[in-house]
Chain A
Amino acid sequence: MKDVTLKLTPGHGPGQASVAYAATAKDLYLTTTGADGRVFLRDSLVLEPEHVAKVDAPPATILAVDPKGKYVAVGDDQYVKLHKLPSLSLERVACRFNLTLRALSFSPDGSKLAAGGDDSLIKLVEVKEGSVYRSLSCEDYVLSLAWDPEGTYLAVVLRSGGLVLYDTSNGRVEKRVELLCERVDYSSPRRHTPSWHPDGGTVLAVPVGAEGEVVLYERLSWEATGYLSGEHTMAVNVVAFSPNGLYAATAGQDKRVVIWDVGAASAIAAASAAEVISGLAWRLDGNELAMVGELGGVGIWSGPVPKELPGPAVPAEELERMQQEQERLADLKRQDASRHGRGGGGDADLVPPEGGEIREEIIEEVEMDMAAAASGDGTDDGAAGARAAAAAAETTSSAGGHDVSAGDEGDAVRSGLTNGPDGPRSLRPSKMAAARPATQTVRTVVRTIVAPPAGPVPQPPFQPGATPAEPGRPRFLCYNMVGSVASRPVEDHHAIEVLFHDSSRFSARVPLLTDYYGFDRASLGEKGVLYASPPTKSDAPQEGGASGDVGVPAMVMFRPFDPWAPNSDWTAPLPPGEEALCLATGQSFVAVATSRQLLRLFSLAGSQTSIIRLEGPPVAMAAVGSLLAVVWHAGPPNPHTKSQQLSMSLYDTTAMSCIFSQPLPLTPGSLLAWLGFTEDHGLPAVSDSQGVVCVRTPDFGGRWLPVFEPPADRRNSEVLWPVGITSNQLYAIVCKPTEPRPQVSPRPFYTPMSLAPPMLALDGGCPPELEGQALLLGLANASLRNRLEAAEAAGLVEEASDLNHLLLRGQAEQDRALLKAFQRVVKGERHGRALEMAAQLNMFKSLEGALTLANHHQARGLAERISAFMASRQAMLEAAAPAPAPQGPTGISQDSDPYGNNHQRHQRSYTPIPFGKRGPAVDREDGPPGLSAKGPHDAEEQAGAGGSRGASQPLQPTDLNTARGSGAGSLTPFANLVASEPVETGGLSTGPKSARGLPTPNTLLQAATAKPDGGDSSHKRKPVQSYNNPFARKAPKLAK
């Protein structure tokens, strides 16, 4: 226990001082007196003196306040005077002494006053008349007096250390204890004040000994029943019970004040002051302790009793009530448990805990011979048999009940024990059965309550972009890149407002929806909003009378934005027991995942296109175009890593196909926080509760690539709430950590942030951002390739050519990023890595740029290898040219020759084309392909990007083609790769293939090395176009 430091304000001179609370009719005051002979009536809070009186013969060592609050008795060197409260005007002299007064005590009714001091005499004064009605003589100086709350006894502590108890009614000595306290000097300011327990004086606490103990005497028997010890190191000066007697405060010569729990006789708080405390007084109605010190300081210890404990002034009745309340609660709990337990033998009353279940196991079957009993009884065998069966059932059920209460008390998994087969109670039915002729099987059943598995719970379903419900506050049901759906509570219903970020995109404003269902989920799409409400239970079952009164079922409602037909809104009630958990709105469909693990697909106008059984409880859904992503629980979370076991399925609703269904890994231990698609490429993207955003790359068989992590330096000052993502930016609302969700008002806006995969900063000077950028662009290209493949497979010529074009541009972008990284690496003298980077370049032009850069940095060896690599690439391509294209996508390489340099001229930055509306946008975006006049400059431009415009003597690839025979091909790792191809001699082109048979960037690089100057050869290489490619048609003209 740590000591509180008490700071006393100077009030009186050094010497004995005294303090008491005075509860007058008006207010509660604190009265203090001290060696300077003044009596103060102080404000009980700020201790500011309000009235002051001065005694004639200082020091005024002692005061006592009449319990009625009318007088304060002050004892000085000669007199005991009564001062009126609160004015402190002198009322009368109560009695006179020859020597200094030391102790005063009012009787509990306030009619009498006991006074004692160095006169070895205690005078009992009738307060009303001011007359001494009895004098009690004692042999020594009186240090302190305490009048018992019953008014019978007076406890007197003497200088010699003795304690004397007088019976005040007759003045006899009731009990005398010698040498209880320490003997003190004549001039000592010690007090040794005892204290009676306020509860009828059942206990008298007296300081004892020099070691700072307090002894508790029992009333009447005057036996020591307890000690308060172990805290003070020196003798205790004052003891004071709290107004309700739960606590006692002691102040000792060691300048400490200790608060004790009297019942437990243990210290609960302690404080230290700068002086020895000469007087203590508990506030009558609060948790405060007033004190005066021997140096004259006055202070209040506010809150001496810790907050978690009952207050020191809580009246006894209140305490009793509190205790009863506690007992009642405990009783209720017990009853609850036993009620659960009794259960009437039915399973219905056995409620397993959340997530837990009840298992039954038959451990014993007893054949009961009913016929034997019938022969014994002969009267009513059937009834008896029934009774026996009932008894048996009761046995099991009570056993089960026992088990339940045990389970309530305890462990995670507690298998209940029925009374064993040889237990007396289960034996009874079998004995009975033995007496019966008919046979009946009585089973002893062990009912086991299996508590929910300890550890993480599966995360509940959620709607991406929704903020949690807070009572009385508006919330977002959905906030995405299209707009927001906000629900605002209005009296008995909600008003749902749909707002678009881009108000020009939709012709009509969406009217405010007055929501009486209590929609708690919504999904905003380009075509409309889908709402879902939970079922409401009827809250007045007795009113309807009929048992079928079930309230409003769960509802699903769809409101399209620009319907051409009237009545295009639709509402669907779900059957009882089914509830919509996840919603998604796509371009041509809406989807609802329900609590029955059903995925219900609707068309926009509400025709039900499909019902699919989900593989697990749904967690979240998102839709774009015709794609629908569903995340579901594949199993309980891992109890060790606390990771959710999620899986994601991606469906194409128009093709009615499942594109993939695979586990969804998140940061270990985190929850899924957001689910969506990249705006431009339609790749699934997720964000977890740690803020890490992942995008699923089609490479590696479809794996998740972390593309964004919250910056470490700002992780404590802001929370990013993701809204949407493109291939290079994350749109997130920046929130404060104290309020991690966006508020409806003021309307939030999102901030674009550049994606940055967690790349490592290798030595050699290439900043990780550059490589990260290249990686992201590679991701975009991978998705484009994927879509291209799909489009070609589906024979969508237009789309394929658009995609092709986009892909080429994306590859150019990637090359630009790679070249930047390449330049840094060359600068950092890491030529090996630089060569490998060059090998990743998509375009032949870019390779030329790399070569220029290498020359500029005087990296001859690197330049040689690059040019050798280029030459081998070209040679390979030419060898491959006559051979028929083994697969469709080789078309890319053919297309690349007119556009191989085209990409350089797209000076404006790449505008992401929304995935949803690709066709026309592309047409608008692509520049005229015939700008190839700048061809020769391109290499320079490319190099210029890397800052090496003025390469003095660039090595041309043609120059080095001759040197190729010297085994240069085997020098590059890539060339090795090519050389290790089994069909190398045949010069077959394809190189490494991805698992899908599509060329990876590397294979593309091999295939795409057609030089623009060899226009005729590229012409030749063009295979028969299987589709009508507008760019391809223009290409030959341009090349000439």
Chain B
Amino acid sequence: MPTASLFEYVAANLENPPLTPEELEFFAEHEKIEIIPNFTLNLPNGMLTCIEGTYGPFRSNIPIKVPLYLALSLYRRGKCRIQLPSWMAKEELKGVLEEERTHPQYFQPVPQYYVEISKLLFTEARAIFGSNSELCEIYDMIEELKKVRNSKILDGLRKVSGPITVKLNHLSHAESNKIRLLFENSLNMWHQLSKNDKVWQENQLAGNDASMTL
């Protein structure tokens, strides 16, 4: 079966990729985040049972970890304070950004869903950052981080020139999703080409006509 060309494949799948950003956001909402509820849940043990898990105990002013979706829905109702995740602290981000810039060959370890979590927090829970300037500062730093990592990814992609194994440690979900279609299929394409090449060479060695495979 002749392989579809890369362009064809990407064009065909661009409309319905294997994972949409919305789906990623949904996954990201299951990441745990620390909140400080300002209510005491009047249920046995103060535990809240959701479809996918039981969280709690919810006691006023005692921090607990809950999934982001729960945190945000409580936050929208004014029932909790969300604690800024530690990796979103200014100093922490500054350090990561610095490291990210100085080491062009590695990615810094960041939370798997940092893009989605930060986006959700920025849009839904602006008040947890304290002042507006603080928010802007953190926002800028995360944007900067995204840019730096993106340029690294692009640089890396340029270097792909054969069916090789590429190790991409510490790539976040959003980032890998971004390059998934292109990267995966270009590698496949490389693989196909090399396979053809091999066959062709074997045929050459066998003295057959090359036109048979092509």
Contact = CB atoms under 8 A, between A and B. Distances in A.
A909 B45 contact: yes
Contacts of B130: 746
A500 interface: yes
A501 interface: yes
A752 B62 contact: yes
A465 to B, nearest CB: 13
B149 interface: no
A731 B62 contact: yes
Contacts of A911: 44-46
A735 to B, nearest CB: 15
Determine which residue in A503, A752, A908 has the highest number of CB atoms from chain B within 10 A of its CB, and name it.
Answer: A503
Interface in B42-77: 44-46, 60-63
A750 B38 CA distance: 12
A985 interface: no
B36 interface: yes
A908 B63 contact: no
Interface string A163-201: 000000000000000000000000000000000000000
Contacts of B36: 747, 749
A908 B62 contact: no
Given A908-B44, A908-B45, A749 B39 contact: no
A747 B36 CA distance: 10
Determine which residue in B38, B39, B63, B130 has the highest number of CB atoms from chain A within 10 A of its CB, and name it.
Answer: B38
A154 B46 CA distance: 95
A500 B78 CA distance: 13
A253 B46 CA distance: 83
Contacts, number: 37
Contacts of A501: 38, 60-61
Interface string A473-502: 000000000000000000000000000111
A299 to B, nearest CB: 37
Contacts of B63: 749, 751
Contact of A750 (B39, B46, B62): B62
A887 interface: no
B45 A751 contact: no
Interface size class of A (residues with CB under 8 A): 10 to 19
Contacts of B61: 501-502, 749-750
Nearest to A911: B45
| SS of A interface (majority) | loop
A909 B130 CA distance: 38
A569 B176 CA distance: 62
A731 B46 CA distance: 17
A749 B36 CA distance: 7
Contacts of B45: 908-909, 911
Contacts of A751: 62-63
Interface residues of B, number: 15
A500 B38 contact: yes
B108 interface: no
B53 to A, nearest CB: 18
A638 to B, nearest CB: 38
A654 interface: no
Determine which residue in A503, A746, A749, A908 has the highest number of CB atoms from chain B within 10 A of its CB, and name it.
Answer: A749
B40 interface: yes
A502 B38 contact: yes
Determine which residue in B39, B46, B78 has the highest number of CB atoms from chain A within 10 A of its CB, and name it.
Answer: B39
B81 interface: yes
Contacts of A657: none
Contacts of A752: 62
Given A747-B81, A911-B45, A502 B39 contact: yes
A542 interface: no
Interface string A717-744: 0000000000000010000000000000
Contacts of B44: 908, 911
Contacts of A750: 61-62
A504 interface: yes
Nearest to A925: B44
Nearest to B36: A749
Contacts of A504: 38-40
A485 to B, nearest CB: 14
A503 B79 CA distance: 8
A500 B40 CA distance: 12
A743 to B, nearest CB: 13
A126 B36 CA distance: 86
Nearest to B130: A746
A503 B62 contact: no
A1039 B63 CA distance: 45
A742 B110 CA distance: 31
Interface string B29-40: 000000010111
A752 B58 CA distance: 13
Interface in B67-117: 78-79, 81
Determine which residue in A502, A747, A752, A908 has the highest number of CB atoms from chain B within 10 A of its CB, and name it.
Answer: A502
Contacts of B62: 731, 749-752
Interface string A497-523: 000111110000000000000000000
B129 to A, nearest CB: 11
12 contacts: A500-B38, A501-B60, A502-B40, A502-B60, A503-B79, A747-B36, A751-B62, A751-B63, A752-B62, A909-B45, A911-B44, A911-B46
Ordered nearest first, which 3 A-B pairs have the shortest CB separation? A502-B60, A501-B61, A501-B60
Given A751-B62, A908-B44, 6 more contacts: A501-B38, A501-B60, A502-B38, A502-B40, A502-B60, A911-B45
